[in-house]
Amino acid sequence: MAKNEFDIIKHYFAQQQLHRDDVALAIGDDCALVDVPADHYVAVSTDSLVAGTHFLADADPALVAYKALASNLSDLAAMGATPAWVSLALTLPTIDEAWLAPFCHSFFELANQYNIQLIGGDTTKGPLSITLTVQGLVPRGQALTRSGAQVGDDVYVTGNLGDSAAGLTLILNQHHCDANLASVLVERHFKASPRISVGESLRGIASAALDISDGVVADVKHIVDRSKVAIEIDVEQLPLSAELLAFCGGDRQRAQQLALSSGEEYELCFTAPTAKRDALKAALAHTNVKYSCIGKVKAGSNLSLLQLGKPLTWQLSGWDHFVVTNN
């Protein structure tokens, strides 16, 4: 029988070289079959990227693939899970091999790096969108949830904050800056590193964790709500890159505002008891990922922003100006 366009796609998606031992049956049947090790939970998460909402329809397919998989891996990282399997539901306007080839190349490059195997999916015709379901493994009782923060815990973030939002303003031509600086920030927007090894290392140490997909302010509120605590963040402790400060022309306050609101950072935000500071340092040493203490868990039920321990001297008015969106 002649190959139809969807056979071509399946051919593309069956190209991955990685074959995990725990995959009994992958692409090609009605379902995939996987083996779950004893004493583990399967952590499952789904995210969709829709052209025109989450990325521009003419965006580089290699970057779109990276972003789709990296943002899903980030959810596994935030749960303390080790990536295992992924399914891909792809809706394409046309079968464009010039789009599919770089998409698959980039997807498998990242998937192989994190030992996650594509085990199935669905392919349909329609407006461009990508939905991934990732699955990871976490030892029972060790998953990092949003609900475990305790009064007295420290609040941490990995990496730097704000670069992704700055990159997005450049992609959307809302700002212009030096070309070298622009390429660094645009790359940070598309190519955040999922913090898998950090998440795994935080098992047994962090009391709560999530990944920053909507901005520190919006995301930390989830820990506040789920853990029923108050959190104070000191904006002076927010980790800012030299590139972000340069982008903001040295305006530190503007950089802090971007750092507070920038989504799609895919850094981890977590809480941990003060008594575990040394254990935390030892556990994260091998990851080569920097982390910063940005605040404290208190009794109460709200999120407050401080500057060197005092109330902010600037309002979060003008906030909307910095909340960038490509919807």
Q: Least distance in Å: CB of 111 to Mg ion?
A: 23
Q: Does 143 bind ligand ADP (CB under 6 A)?
A: no
Q: Could you give the angle at the alpha carbon of 312 between the alpha carbons of 256 and 324, nearest 5°?
A: 35
Binding mask 172-201 for ligand ADP (x = CB under 6 A): ------------------------------
Q: Does 30 bind Mg ion (CB under 5 A)?
A: yes
- Could you list the residues known to form a binding site for Mg(2+), using ranges: 30, 45-47, 75, 122, 211, 214
Piece of the chain touching Mg ion by CB under 5 A; list 23-31, 73-81, 153-161, 171-179: 23-31
Other C-beta atoms lying within 10 Å of the C-beta of residue 200: 20
CA distances for 58 relative to 52, 54, 64, 128, 323, angstroms: 9, 12, 10, 10, 23
Number of residues that this document lists for the chain? 327
CA–CA separation, 53 and 258 (whole Å): 20
Contact (CB, 8 A) for 131 and 46: yes
CA–CA separation, 203 and 190 (whole Å): 28
Binding mask 101-120 for ligand ADP (x = CB under 6 A): -----------------x-x
Complex with Mg ion: residue 7 or 225, whichever CB lies closer = 7
Complex with ligand ADP: residue 10 or 226, whichever CB lies closer = 10
Piece of the chain touching Mg ion by CB under 5 A; list 7-15, 24-32, 68-76, 175-183: 24-32
Q: Which of 80, 83, 121, 295 binds ligand ADP (CB under 6 A)?
A: 121
Complex with Mg ion: residue 33 or 151, whichever CB lies closer = 33
Binding mask 14-53 for ligand ADP (x = CB under 6 A): -------------xxxx-----------------------
- Helix intervals (H) in the chain: 5-13, 61-79, 97-113, 163-171, 179-190, 196-201, 216-227, 242-247, 252-261, 277-284, 319-322
Piece of the chain touching Mg ion by CB under 5 A; list 22-30, 177-185, 220-228, 319-327: 22-30
CA–CA separation, 233 and 229 (whole Å): 13
Complex with ligand ADP: residue 20 or 40, whichever CB lies closer = 20
Point out which residues pair with 157 in neighbouring strands: 269, 292
- What does the binding site for ligand ADP look like in residue numbers (CB under 6 A)? 9-10, 13, 27-30, 88, 90, 118, 120-123
- What does the binding site for Mg ion look like in residue numbers (CB under 5 A)? 30
